[in-house]
Structure 1
Amino acid sequence: MSTGIESTDGRGVYRGTARLPDGTAARVQAVRRTVDQLAPDVVHAHSSWAGLYTRVRRLPVPVVYQPHCYYFERPNLVGPVRRSVRLLERALAANGSVVAAVSPREELLARSMGVRDVVRIPNAPSSAAVREAGARSGTPAGSHRTVTMVGRVVAQKDPRFFAETARVAQQLGLGLSFRWLGDGDQTLVRELRDAGVEVTGWLTADDVMRQMAASDVYLHCASYEGFPISVLDAARVGLPTIVREIPAFEGARLTAVGSPAEAAVAAHAAVVDPGRRLRMIESGDRLVGEMDESALHDGVVTAYAMATGGALVS
């Protein structure tokens, strides 16, 4: 959930931040006051909640809305709730915002709700995700190879899928160890640890990259996504990457699995089969080549130019 407002000058340098108050109505009012005070050329709203705060009441400046995964994509929503949320998104879209989609799936969803102005702004790997040449191309040595996941331990990331993958791998004697980089819901953290998964707690960005680079396989187990940066980070550091069969990854050409059993088998293959491992790494390399800093920059420039009628083009 969005909890703050950040402002930048024309060069993209931060001018300041403001914490949002509690309550939806108060947050909508706070956004409007801040916009009136700053008089920006464009407002960039990250996440579904930010999209609500900036579009439920039309602002005097254009809005670039970047949902980072539409809320109605949650698989556990019952039908009436899903339809209601989608209708709300459609109603908010009528306020004339530009939608910035992080994936082909999000672009398709935006257009299905009648949004005309849609720009692809792909995520890019973290600046800390730097691959050492050839560091991860060979078959890992050692008896216990590490499968890693990065993210908050919350229902959306589906830690139970990861925990069950660890259990299956242990039952099959695959010689894999499992590590979750992050923290969150303590009930879910306990379930991970009960399954033999190491949960590191919150780490600095550099520590996340070091732990990821020291792993052997990356498994992204979220049940729904926009397009996670951690997948791009894993690919950039040279890890064979496995993802869930969810719409966010359509067209990404990564190894996709539908069950914990499939995930365990795929992770094992990534560490014992050099040819399979190399193909998975090459798939990640192609993905990073398509979703990099240059593509992100071009997408942002295009979105702002579209929102402002060409007033912001640098």
Structure 2
Amino acid sequence: MQGGMMKQKLMFIVETVGGGVRTHVLQLINGLDPEQYDITLVYGERYDHVFEQQKDELARKARLILVPSMQRSIGLKTTTAAIRELRAIIHNVQPDIVHCHSSIAGFVGRIAAHQERVPKVFYTPHAYAFDAPEFSTLKRDAFILMERWASRHATTRTFNVSRGEYRNALKHHIDRPDKFRVIYNGLPDIDMPSRLEARERLGLRGVIPDDAPVVGCCAWLNDRKDPMTFMRIAKRTLAANPNVHFVYIGEGEPDFVAEVKRYIAENGMEKNIHLFGYRSDADILVPAFDVYLLSSLYEGMPYSLVEALRAGVPIVATRTTGNDEVVIPHVNGELFGVQKPDEGAKMLKKVLDLRPETGALTQHVKQTYYDRFTEQQMLDSITKEYRA
């Protein structure tokens, strides 16, 4: 206890503990003062390697509760089962604060917390589901209605990870403006390997020349990240400059992986495109890149771009929510239209052509990280809301 204050019981509710959501929640568990917060993490069955590896360590900092009924499906049966199970857990733990993450947990978690009369209920969407292009109009409309009801009846405040996400909430009349607060994702400032050290660790040294330009990305191979646009930009770039190499770090759905590999083979790009799959050390491999290329269809606030800024690597990314708040054109990178590989290749060439000025460019890139995206800025903003 500090200053005579009692510990607050804080509960995180997350359906999928993977990617940026996992990064964010683990940062909160590890970064919040254990003298002030007694933490419980309630999570679903879908989680990634990093969470699996850190579960034992996390269990020393937070109570971990698996809820199998909390699933991606929003059917009546699964939703009802999840709410019932969450209510029982909340009733048992009696949290002072519940903080829900992403759309599914955001809906069932907030309803359960509301029904159990939790004093403070917060929500971080990490990109609204109604923005997902893969969903039908009917499904998107359903998500909008769910978000409206939960925000107006069961939420103290929503934390949007970007201004674009906040604007989308207002555009769809989710709630009044004062129910939202924009809090950017942040990362801790850590020591980074040099460019050549990162390439050695990645396994590129001896495979490609040390002075070869490398364009890289750390992302899922899935719909949202649109890896095929990344590959099409690579094809156009290599037609003009066969010395460039492309690196994609990340795992994905078997169909996507097969499609990407087929495209690479059909276009004879096997020597220039390197697929590394999942890497637990992906965040410190970013200095291996000369340019970070992200081709997402939509985002909330991608941690991967913040990792690029922290490493001093300029970015070429799609002009979409979140990306357009990390990337400042002509300062730390360039933007291009979603699913527009010709424009993407043009912007990539523009940034690659700046390589001789890499020292000055690296400083500009890093400064945008220090200005807006440190972990401490994020933690301070969130704890301020918890205490309000």
* TM-score interval, smaller chain: 0.7 to 0.9
Conserved? CA contact 1:72–1:82, under 8 Å: yes
Whole-angstrom CA distance in 1 between matches of 2:185 and 2:318: 18
Task: Please list the CA deviations of residues 215-267 of structure 1 after superposition, one character each: whole Å capped at 9, or x if unmatched.
Answer: 21101111111101110001101111111011223344141112222222322
Structure-2 residue corresponding to 1:233: 307
> What residue identity is the alignment partner of 1:117?
K
Structure-2 residue corresponding to 1:292: 374
> What residue identity is the alignment partner of 1:199?
L
Matching of residue 104 in structure 1 with residue 172 in structure 2: no
**Runs of 5+ consecutive residues of structure 2 not aligned to the other structure:** 1-13, 18-24, 40-60, 70-77, 198-208
Conserved? CA contact 2:134–2:223, under 8 Å: no
- For residue 273 of structure 1, report the CA deviation from its aligned partner: 2.3
Structure-2 residue corresponding to 1:262: 343
> What residue identity is the alignment partner of 1:241?
I
> What residue identity is the alignment partner of 1:20?
V
Whole-angstrom CA distance in 2 between matches of 1:15 and 1:131: 29
Identity of aligned residues (%): 22
Residues 173, 15 of structure 1: alpha-carbon distance in 2 compared, 3 angstrom cutoff: closer
Matching of residue 92 in structure 1 with residue 150 in structure 2: yes
Structure possessing the higher relative contact order (Cα contacts under 8 Å, 6 or more residues apart):
1
2:279 alignment partner, SS class: coil
Conserved? CA contact 1:192–1:199, under 8 Å: no
1:156 alignment partner, SS class: coil
Matching of residue 30 in structure 1 with residue 30 in structure 2: no
Structure-2 residue corresponding to 1:45: 100
Which range moves more in the overlay, 55-64 or 218-227? Answer: 55-64
Which range moves more in the overlay, 65-74 or 274-283? Answer: 274-283
Conserved? CA contact 1:241–1:281, under 8 Å: no
**Runs of 5+ consecutive residues of structure 1 not aligned to the other structure:** none
- For residue 281 of structure 1, report the CA deviation from its aligned partner: 5.8
1:75 alignment partner, SS class: coil
Conserved? CA contact 1:219–1:242, under 8 Å: yes
> What residue identity is the alignment partner of 1:262?
E
Residues 80, 135 of structure 1: alpha-carbon distance in 2 compared, 3 angstrom cutoff: same
1:157 alignment partner, SS class: coil
Q: How many residues align?
A: 299
Q: What is the TM-score with the length of structure 1 in the denominator?
A: 0.84
Whole-angstrom CA distance in 2 between matches of 1:134 and 1:150: 16
> What residue identity is the alignment partner of 1:297?
L
Residues 270, 296 of structure 1: alpha-carbon distance in 2 compared, 3 angstrom cutoff: same
Conserved? CA contact 2:226–2:297, under 8 Å: yes
2:348 alignment partner, SS class: helix
Residues 12, 239 of structure 1: alpha-carbon distance in 2 compared, 3 angstrom cutoff: farther
Residues 125, 261 of structure 1: alpha-carbon distance in 2 compared, 3 angstrom cutoff: farther
- For residue 284 of structure 1, report the CA deviation from its aligned partner: 5.2
- For residue 287 of structure 1, report the CA deviation from its aligned partner: 4.2
Q: What is the TM-score with the length of structure 2 in the denominator?
A: 0.69
